[in-house]
Amino acid sequence: MTATHTGLIGLGTMGAALALNIAEKGFPIAVWNRTASVTQQFHADAGDLAQHITPVETLAGLVQAITPPRAIILMVPAGQAVDDQLAALTPLLGPEDLVIDAGNANFRDTNRRDAADLPFRFMGIGVSGGEEGARHGPAIMAGGPDVAWAQMKPLLQAIAARAEDDTPCADHMGPSGAGHFVKAVHNGIEYADMQMISEVYGVMRDGMGLSAAAIAPVFDRWNKGPLQSYLIEISAQVAAATDPVAGGPMLDMIVDAAGQKGTGRWTAVEAQHLAAPVPVIEAAVMARNVSARRAERAAGQARFGGAEARIDLPLEDLEQAMIAGKILCYAQGFAMMTAAARDFDWALDMPAIARVWRAGCIIRSSMLNDMAQALAEDPARNLILAPFFADRLDAGLPALRRVVAEGALQGLPLPALSAGLAWFDLMRQTRGTANMIQGQRDFFGAHGFERLDGKKAPHGPWGNPA
């Protein structure tokens, strides 16, 4: 068997898919799972790829099966399992070896591990695309030292998805936890995108009285225009699906409570630390949390009543509202990464991030080509001010206002779309209302304030003649 420089630990759904992808791209790989029978079954099921895979039964055996300099990919649950695995590898590896955490780690954990004086190199990479992406080409956001990226670049770019221009969707984001941070923002945008789609679905179902079967072709049609994306594509498929047991729409049989793994929540929390507003993502996290409170929601409907089908809006308005909402959401995400680059002293390449997201990942979308171009023109400029997207917003915002207004009047919840619109209106106001907030703060706490005319500001309680 050909010598390998690469190993993988953890043969769950994602780990198994990634190992097969690596083997298929011509990189021999050794694999180990804590349960030996899982390793053996994986190898037995690998078919023609088995010749490129070395199954081992112990961690020491994995290390021995890999030719130095070694690279070992961890595909284990985020958190303590990663720390435990690093501790177990510590006596087995040398300074030229590399361990890669490819799970959904919190970037602060990755920073901590990177600073822990490990006896080997360490990097964290964000991998997006689910099982299908891991098997056939994910989007990869790598973080860690330059030397580690140089070592792994040929493999990671070989297994990554490829955009329409044949560019691999894998790149180096920066040091330490930069890769996992970008992946977290990706997941936050994913939460928001899914929430906005669900809100528009709710308008069509509860506000317009459309069935799932009637909604499916609407999403399918939108997927052929500016909204073309993986999430719109699968929304059409989900709406069209029939329940094999009851025979009706599958959507009507799915419990109305959305699960989450926490990565969107991490994004919302970190945005607060960075003072980088991401209200669309925050609204999406809130909506998922509220969805879990089914008993309370049932009590609320019993007391106050639910929404009725009263909305009369053209479907074109919903499409334009979605386009505007998507632009506002992505603008917030890129602004958050710009704030992180400043605070953490990372040289995050915004156009490169947009290009990595063009294929393989959950938020892949035709709009990301235009975003990459706009960010290349001026990476520091907020995306809503880029001429292409400013024009799109001019076209879409009137529809977004109509949809949000009708939703509010008829009691339909549109938290993400509403949050995006509110943020936009704050962003376009030179004469806002924060002067009242600052005046209140100074009055009751003597905090001081900045005067427009540049003169020295008095301290409160200046509103009290005494």
Q: SS3 for 427?
A: helix
Going by the DSSP 8-state scheme, the letter that residue 384 receives in this structure is G
Q: How far apart are CA 78 and CA 110, in angstroms?
A: 10
Q: Alpha carbon of 456 to those of 445, 459, 464: distances in Å? A: 18, 10, 19
C-beta separation of 339 from 140 below 8 A: no
Contact 7, 70 (CB under 8 A): yes
Tokens of 169: 């969707």
Find the length of the chain: 466
Q: Is residue 218 classed exposed, middle or buried when 0-12, 13-18 and 19+ CB atoms within 10 A define those classes?
A: buried
Residue 15: C-alpha distances to residues 140, 161, 227, 234, 296 (Å): 14, 17, 31, 24, 39
Q: Which residues are catalytic?
A: 183, 190
Whole-number Å distance between alpha carbons of 42 and 370 = 41
Cβ burial of 84 (10 Å; 0-12, 13-18, 19+) is exposed
Q: Rounded to an integer, what distance in angstroms lies between the CA atom of residue 11 and that of residue 33? A: 6
- Classify burial at 423, counting beta carbons within 10 Å of its beta carbon; exposed 0-12, middle 13-18, buried 19 or more: buried
User: Which two three-digit tokens encode residue 307?
Assistant: 């929404």
| Cβ atoms within 10 Å of 344's Cβ, excluding its own | 17
Residue 132: partners with Cβ closer than 8 Å, 6 or more residues away? 17
Q: Is 130 exposed, middle or buried (0-12, 13-18, 19+ CB in 10 A)?
A: middle
